[in-house]
Amino acid sequence: MAEHHDTSMMDNLYWWGIPTLFRCSQDDLITADIALVGVPHSTGNGTTERDQHLGPRAVRNVSALQRRSHAGFEIDPWSLAKVVDAGDVPFPRANDNEHCIQQITDFYKNIESSNTRPVSIGGDHSITGGIVQGLANGTLTKGEKVCFLHLDAHTDVFTTVDHFLGAKKSAAHWGAYLPDQGMVDPKHSMQIGLRGHPRTLDWLQPSYDYGYNIVTMKEYRQRGAAEIVEQIKTVLGSRPIYITFDLDCLDPSVAPAVSNLEPGVNGFSMDEAVELMHAVRGMNIIGGDVVCLMPTKDSPNQITSMVATAVMFEMISMIAEIIPQPS
């Protein structure tokens, strides 16, 4: 008993030991229920703030601190599901965005073929396009289109420009090209938390044209969380759900180290964002990602990396709950 206690204490010291995601081992995917993946990619953002590729390493550094039971759900996700650290997607041509997106797709096709559900840490938001290309039309979706629970300050459906400073499958375009490919169903997807200072007054129109269900931050404040939670449940239903969480949906005071900060309008508090994610608890979550962490802009206590880790933990816990248990 004392030995178990000592091991548990050491495992929670984020500064000790080999930094895998949540202290998970790097076992074979074939027997895994959940694969944790680092996607150190930042050439899909197109801005000068390209340190998002450092996000996976930063989260590996602090995530042991949050390898714990879920008090709200009253579960230990690590005992309900086999969770492995699947490593990082390799990017031998890291400055070639289109090649990187294909690398991501190929990596996730291997995960999907094992019937394993991925939870990923990026990386800029272009990684979602590559991930969903790898998951769509496979065993997890059972032939249905993927539906998004998308929390973000921005739509990422910017069809009025054909590339983002050279990147075609960019952080600004995945919300459009995935439906164009027939992989995503916008009419049963939610985009929540949109806010900020748009370059043009019609910035939401492409999302409306695709049929996304949009809840701006202003509308969220007016309608209230309970009504939005019910809308999420109705819109997504029993369909294959992919959660994509851009840290810039959070208020800058909560997550200061993100790309494309939107300080002009209050973003979500942590509790508000988690409540929205919990709307899909018990539903068919096939995977999720957390994106746009900028460790080089973080505070000395690495608070944004810890916030990213906390969001991943919520995704892991919700997926662990739906994994069938041996009889």
CA distance 134 to 244: 15
What is the span of the domain harbouring residue 42? 33-322
Q: What is the CA radius of gyration of the chain?
A: 18
Segment 11-16 mean pLDDT: 76
Q: At what angle do helices 270-277 and 303-322 cross, to 10 degrees?
A: 20
**Domain presence at residue 72:** yes
Query: What amino acid occupies position 7?
Result: T
**Domain presence at residue 7:** no
pTM above 0.75, yes or no: yes
**Domain presence at residue 160:** yes
pLDDT in tens, 218-244: 999 999 999 999 999 999 999 999 999
**Domain presence at residue 196:** yes
Query: What amino acid occupies position 261?
Result: L
| Banded model confidence at residue 5, pLDDT cuts 50, 70, 90 | low
| Domain tally, the chain | 1
| Banded model confidence at residue 1, pLDDT cuts 50, 70, 90 | low
The per-residue pLDDT for 196 is 82
Bridge partners, 290 (sequence order): 121, 245
180-to-246, 274, 321 alpha-carbon distances in Å: 22, 30, 32
* 3-class state of residue 190 by DSSP: strand
Prior bond of 123 cis (ω within 30°): yes
Which CATH number characterizes residue 232's domain?
3.40.800.10
Bridge partners, 120 (sequence order): 37, 289
Q: What percent of the chain has pLDDT over 70?
A: 97
Those residues with Cβ within 8 angstroms of residue 238's Cβ, 6 or more apart along the chain or in another chain: 283, 284
**Domain presence at residue 238:** yes
**Domain presence at residue 88:** yes
52-to-6, 127, 159, 256 alpha-carbon distances in Å: 35, 11, 23, 13
| Banded model confidence at residue 18, pLDDT cuts 50, 70, 90 | confident
**Domain presence at residue 298:** yes
**Domain presence at residue 84:** yes
